[in-house]
């Protein structure tokens, strides 16, 4: 099955505009996300779904210089429709949804999620929302039919903006798998929404650059367990809660 990772990206983030092009150890954050997803064994293609409009011109020009991804455009507010159009443009049968503010996305977690969904033919699979993997490892994998149903039927603005709530709010309709993890490290905030999140990401990327390769989960665990002060940089930042 054609499994495509679709990365949501835009220049007009409310809390930290332009963050996708901010540098992390000499490379734009969006390129760090792509770099990590390219390490996955269970993905066939990568696509970046960018909103329409002139405000996104810098991001589109940046991405157009690459030949290893596809770029899809669509409505900024209706992210569900944009994602579905991107999936159709790539002829995806399975979509892996990732956001561009997660430069710590782990390729092994993505591969495990895709493999687990495939093995038991689930409609939808995701990392656990409230515990388990660090915040910033979040990813979802789902059949194109589930995405098409959501795009056709969702009326709640929250479901249009966040792509998958129409699916995960209806577990009786869509066979669902949740990938949990022990020990629980959900309190590790590794997502970039604010200036302090970005400061933390820069610190980790700069310190782990000495590895000479993209760091993996075990590298990150060893680093943060020996540098616990790093996690205090953005400990005060509150994540927007899920709406059930």
Q: What's 88's domain CATH number?
A: 3.90.550.10
| pLDDT value of residue 105 | 98
Question: 16 lies in which domain range?
Answer: 3-232
Residue 239 lies in a domain: no
Residues 6+ apart with CB under 8 A from 228: none
Residue 237 lies in a domain: no
Residue 150 lies in a domain: yes
Digit-by-digit pLDDT tens for the chain (244 residues) are 799 999 999 999 999 999 999 999 999 999 999 999 999 999 999 999 999 999 999 999 999 999 999 999 999 999 999 999 999 999 999 999 999 999 999 999 999 999 999 999 999 999 999 999 999 999 999 999 999 999 999 999 999 999 999 999 999 999 999 999 999 999 999 999 999 999 999 999 999 999 999 999 999 999 999 999 999 999 999 999 999 8
Give bridge partners of residue 3 from the DSSP assignment. Answer: 94
| pLDDT value of residue 1 | 77
Residue 109: burial class (beta carbons within 10 Å; 0-12, 13-18, 19+): buried
In the chain, the number of structural domains is 1
Residue 69 lies in a domain: yes
Residue 140 lies in a domain: yes
Tokens of 218: 């075990």
Residues 6+ apart with CB under 8 A from 213: none
Residue 116 lies in a domain: yes
Whose CA is closest to 177, among 123, 110, 132? 123
Residue 191 contacts residue 127 (beta carbons within 8 Å): no
Residue 195 lies in a domain: yes
Residue 226 lies in a domain: yes
Whose CA is closest to 174, among 144, 131, 214? 144
pTM value surpassing 0.95: yes
| pLDDT value of residue 132 | 98
């Amino acid at each position: 099955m054609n499994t495509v990772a679709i990365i949501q990206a835009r220049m007009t983030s409310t809390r930290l505009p332009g963050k996708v092009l901010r540098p992390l150890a000499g490379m734009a954050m969006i390129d760090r996300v792509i770099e990590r997803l390219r390490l996955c064994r269970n993905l066939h293609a990568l696509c970046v779904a960018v909103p329409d409009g002139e405000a996104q011109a810098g991001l589109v020009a940046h991405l157009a210089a690459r030949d290893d991804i596809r770029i899809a455009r669509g409505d900024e507010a209706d992210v569900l429709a944009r994602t579905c159009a991107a999936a159709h443009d790539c002829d995806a049968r399975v979509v892996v949804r990732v956001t561009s503010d997660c430069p710590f996305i782990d390729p092994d977690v993505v591969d495990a999620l895709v493999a687990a969904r495939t093995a038991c033919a689930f409609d939808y699979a995701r990392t656990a929302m409230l515990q388990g993997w660090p915040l910033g490892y979040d990813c979802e994998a789902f059949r194109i039919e589930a995405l098409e149903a959501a795009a056709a039927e969702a009326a709640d603005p929250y479901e249009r903006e966040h792509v998958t709530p129409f699916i995960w709010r209806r577990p009786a309709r869509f066979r669902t798998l949740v990938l949990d993890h022990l020990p629980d490290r959900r309190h590790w905030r590794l997502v970039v929404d604010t200036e302090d999140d970005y400061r933390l990401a820069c610190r980790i990327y700069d310190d782990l650059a000495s590895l000479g390769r993209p760091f993996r989960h075990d590298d990150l665990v060893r680093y943060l367990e020996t540098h616990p002060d790093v996690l205090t940089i953005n400990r005060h930042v509150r994540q927007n809660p899920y709406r059930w």
